[in-house]
Structure formats: structure tokens, C-alpha cells
Structure 1
Amino acid sequence: MAGIRQVISTLTQDGQELLGPNVLAYHYPDNSIMNGSLLTVESNHFAVLKSRGAIMDVFETGQYTIKTPDRPIIGTFQQAFFGGNSPWQYEVIYINRAKLILEVAGVAFSREMAEMGYHVSCYVHVDTKEDALKLVQHMPMAGHHVTMQEVNAYAGPVIEQSINKIVQLTQLERVNEKMPDIIELVKDHLQEFLAVYGLMLNDVKALVFPKDERMKELISLRAFGLSELDAVRYYTAMLMAQRGIVSAPNMAVGKPYYVGNPLMSMDAAEGGSNGSTK
């Protein structure tokens, strides 16, 4: 109806917010936005107004009436059917300006080519109206949403390259010592990359760990000051003890086990083949 102005918002009819914590951008799906419609922008949003593909303005918090220069294209047809307003003229893209979480997981390889898993969490946000324009201009939108999963797909290769640049030159058991360098490199490369899309990087949290459970156990034993050989022996002894094998202590200390006299087996190795200490 011509006398009723349409209200454009990110709220549904039952009051639910469509621009949630996993949505970076939202394209208002109604194709009947007309001149004179009311555009509502929440306190943690930007709104980008487009007309026939061209960006007209970027709005911050508030409510605005959509107005454009007169375009007498349709004439009496426009007056008769749309009350002076023509549909398909305008698009609204809402940008979430709250801090959102970007999460990427993958695999890197140490200097020994051991498989290392990593998980990186980053906090990003759109800071200014200019950044909102960059996002609309450079981030493709399939459907009506740009989700953080889609942003993860863009950032993933940058993070993987940054982590591998250090991890591939580092011994497996010393990777954790390099975590400050890894985080700093990820920050530098990722901020430069995200700036193209108008995203500001706030903080980075990263964890790098051996993918193989055996390697985790061995590295833990090495942390107690054991040599590589001793760590392997103690790890094997723990597995044997879990299975109830009585020779597990012998494996731990590297002594032979003699069937029939388990209590004396370690002493026998030192004092004689028959278990005598003389």
C-alpha cells in the first residue's frame, strides 16, 4: 500500500536478531524496498545502501528515510502501480560491527616431518564506515549472508603458511618454545590480509600440538629430563603395566627379566645368571 512506509531492519517479526554472532554481513532479502522506506540500524551494525549496483551511502546507528534524486523513468506506470515509487531500486546490506571469532584448524609438519595439529582463534571486527565499504566491495556474498565460516576459508591459507614457516624449521619437542614467534607472525600476515576486506584483527590465540598420541606421551617424558632412549623405555613400560605384564619395571630400568623369579630378576642381571649375589 502506497501510504504505508516499509521498515527495514535485521529483526524478525517475533523480535529475533538475524545478524547473530556467526554472521558478518546480511543482505536484506526483500525486493520491494522503495524511496521513502525507513531504514533502521542497530547500535552494533552498519548499513550499506545500494541502488542499481552502485553504493549510495553507509549508515551508522539510527533510523533513516531512504531518499534519492528524482528519476522520472516509468512515469504514469510508476504512479499507477507503485504510488510514485519503483521497486527493485535499492539494496541494503547490514554489517556486523561487533567482535566476532575467526577459527581455523589444520595440520603443520615439524623439522622431522612429524604431523602437528594447530588451532587458531582470532577476534575481528569492522571498525569504521570505510571498512564496511571495503567489506561490501571485496567480500563475495552467496545468498543473503556472509558467515564467519566463509571468512575462515579465506583466512585459512594465510594462517597455515605463517605457522608452517616456523614449525617446519623447528624440532618437534621445541615447537612450544616458538609459540610467541608463531603468534606474532600470524598476527602480521593475517592483519595485512584482512585489511583488504575491512576487518581489523584484535587478538590471536594459537595452540600447536603433536597429532600422534604416542608423540605427546614421549615429549611429556622428555620434559622430565629423560633421554630419548629412556623416554621410549618408560613409555613402553607404562603400556605393559596397563596390560598387567609383570616385567614392566624391568623395561623401565632397562634390565632383563628371568622367568620363575621375577622379584630377583633385576638383581640377577647384576650378580649372576642364577640370581646369586655372591
Structure 2
Amino acid sequence: MSLQFRGSVISTERENGTSMMAEDTIIFRYPKEEITSKSIIFVQPNELAVVVIQGQVQAVLPPGTHNVQSPQNPLSSFLSRFRYNALPFDTIVFYTSTTRHEIRIVGVSQTQDLVPLEYEIAVYYRVTDPSKLVFNVQFGNNVFKDADLGRYISPMIDQEVSSIINYVRLSDIFKKLGDVSNAVLASLKAFLSEIGIELISVRVIRLLPQDDELRRVIQLRDLGVDVEKAIRLYLAGSLASKNDPASVNMALGIPYYPNLSTLVNLPDNLIKVNLRGNEDRENTENSNK
């Protein structure tokens, strides 16, 4: 999967025709620094190429074919200014994606009444200033992906989400979805613009109790069932999953009196004798009265 020079063409394409710029890739660093003055830098329609020479951005190349020696190329003016016959060894080309990207941030916070909630926030964005982004992120390998940016901004999102739901009771939490989105949007928009990213929108995908049992009870309550009946229906479902015959009675709210043979492993004739003896004893007591 290694990239190699195909003649003197520098691009994000592999030898088999596929691209290193996957749908979740924001930045791709071309792994070769020996870029000669005869090189041609090819930029795809959904990319921009940032050329860094000796630690400084010398050009941001738009989509198209760029000949380093062409007079209109900003790199050729760099060569003529310093009288280089070839680009220096420390020339790096960063390819940045210009398409819309999406990040899903998942975390846990809690309400005012100390109920743990799981949240999922979708962040939609695009790169608008690739040179600023290249100099504001760090990555160990040759790619910087959506997941890397997600780890970069997740603490800020967690802080904004908690600043809203920590002061709201569980019964009112779903009324605050708009406030959560607005708080995250306002905080991220200013922060991402500083690193060359335009924030398009923020959406709350999921905001539910972490406990599955409480989650099901709330779902039944929101369907119009009172809390007591909702709890009873949840317990009935749990009993039904274990093939317990008491599940129907639990759902109806009727006491359940099981057959003794289902509780103790006794012979049927012994149970019948025991029941008959109890009946005779009750008749004798009634006659004495």
C-alpha cells in the first residue's frame, strides 16, 4: 500500500487507482520529502494541497495539475528567489479534504437528580483554511482522520453538554435538547474557526438514561402510561423473558397464586392427599363451631 513516485507525479492516488483520501480522512501527508524541481503535483477536485518548505507554507494549490517549474506556480518563484535548482529536501506536501465531514461524539453526564445519561452529538464541518489546520493539529502517521479531530474536541463538547443537563431534572431533560445543541454550536464554532474549520451544524442524536431498565420505564411513561403501571409492565416483560407464568398477572396487576407443584418437586398424589387433609380439617373446625 506504499506510495511511490510514478514518474514525477505527486498525488493521493495509489498505484492500484484507489485514493489515500478516504471519506473519513481530513489530512494526508505525502510520505516522500525528496520532491524534485521536475515534479508535478496533482490535486483532485475535492482536495487542496499545502506545500511546506523549511517549516513555512509556500503554496496552497487548488485542484488541477501543478508543474513546479511553471512560471505561474508559486513554488517556481521560491526557486528563483533562493536560486535553488531543486526543491530542498524538507519539502512536504499536505493534502486536505474540502468535502463535508461528520463526527459522532459519545459521552456520559448526569442530571440534577444524579441520573447518568448517555449522549451522542453529531458535528458537521468542512475545512476552509488548510494551511492553518496543518499547523494546528498533530498526528503521528501520514493521516489525520475524523476520529482524531473527535478526540481533540470531545472534552469541550462534554463540558458544554454537562453545563446544561447538570442543572435539569430527568423529567425535563428532553425539553433542553435545543439548549444543548446551541451551547455546543456556540462553543465549537469559535474554536474550530481558529484552526481553519467551518462548523456547519450540530445535532443531538441521542440523550437517554444509561440504565436500560430506567430507559424502558421512561419510554412507557412517554407513551401515556403512569409510572407505577410502567414499572409493572417492565417487570412483566422481564418475567415473560424467563417464561415465568406470573408475567400476565404482573401486567394486569392481579396477585398470582402458583400451583404448589410448580414450587416443590413432590408427587402429585402426595399433594392431593395434603390438600384433601386440609379440606377435612377445615370441615371439622366448622362443625365444632
Q: Is the pair's TM-score, using the shorter chain for normalization, greater than 0.5?
A: yes
For 1:120 and 1:185, the matched residues in 2 are separated by 12
The one-letter amino acid of 2:28's match is Y
Q: Which residue of 2 aligns with 1:144?
A: 142
Q: Which residue of 2 aligns with 1:30?
A: 32
* Structure 1: runs of 5 or more not aligned: 74-83, 261-278
- Pick the aligned partner of 1:13 from 15, 18, 24: 15
**Given the alignment of the two structures, is residue 62 of structure 1 paired with residue 60 of structure 2, yes or no?**
no
For 1:31 and 1:104, the matched residues in 2 are separated by 35
Q: Which residue of 2 aligns with 1:175?
A: 173
The one-letter amino acid of 2:126's match is H
* Higher deviation after alignment, 50-59 or 244-253: 244-253
For 1:237 and 1:24, the matched residues in 2 are separated by 50
Q: Which residue of 2 aligns with 1:122?
A: 123
Q: How far apart are residue 153 of structure 1 and its match?
A: 0.4
TM-score by length of 1: 0.79
For 2:33 and 2:60, the matched residues in 1 are separated by 19
* Secondary structure of the structure 2 residue equivalent to 1:197: coil
The one-letter amino acid of 2:195's match is Y
The one-letter amino acid of 1:180's match is G
The one-letter amino acid of 1:93's match is F
Taking every aligned residue pair, what percent have the same amino acid on both sides? 25
- Measured against aligned partners, the alpha-carbon deviations of 1:20-61 in whole angstroms (never above 9, x if no partner) come to 111101111112102232111111111111111111111111
Q: Which residue of 2 aligns with 1:221?
A: 220
For 2:244 and 2:94, the matched residues in 1 are separated by 67
| Aligned 8 A contact 1:5 1:38 in 2 | no
| Aligned 8 A contact 2:53 2:88 in 1 | no
Q: Where does 1:35-54 land on structure 2 (aligned, <5 Å)? A: 35-54=37-56
| Aligned 8 A contact 1:5 1:36 in 2 | no
Q: Which residue of 2 aligns with 1:196?
A: 194
The one-letter amino acid of 1:44's match is N
Q: How far apart are residue 258 of structure 1 and its match?
A: 4.7
- Pick the aligned partner of 2:164 from 155, 160, 166: 166
| Aligned 8 A contact 2:79 2:87 in 1 | no
Query: Given the superposition, is the C-alpha separation of residues 69 and 240 from structure 1 closer, same or farther in structure 2, using an over 3 Å criterion?
Result: closer
Q: How far apart are residue 99 of structure 1 and its match?
A: 0.9
* Structure 2: runs of 5 or more not aligned: 1-5, 69-75, 260-289
Query: Given the superposition, is the C-alpha separation of residues 249 and 19 from structure 1 closer, same or farther in structure 2, using an over 3 Å criterion?
Result: closer
Q: How far apart are residue 177 of structure 1 and its match?
A: 2.2
| Aligned 8 A contact 1:46 1:94 in 2 | yes
- Over alpha carbons, which structure has the higher Rg? 2
Q: Which residue of 1 aligns with 2:280?
A: none
| Aligned 8 A contact 2:48 2:60 in 1 | yes
Q: Where does 1:223-238 land on structure 2 (aligned, <5 Å)? A: 223-238=222-237
Q: Which residue of 1 aligns with 2:105?
A: 104
Query: Given the superposition, is the C-alpha separation of residues 228 and 9 from structure 1 closer, same or farther in structure 2, using an over 3 Å criterion?
Result: same
* Secondary structure of the structure 1 residue equivalent to 2:35: coil
For 1:243 and 1:143, the matched residues in 2 are separated by 51
* Higher deviation after alignment, 22-31 or 229-238: 229-238
For 1:69 and 1:95, the matched residues in 2 are separated by 24
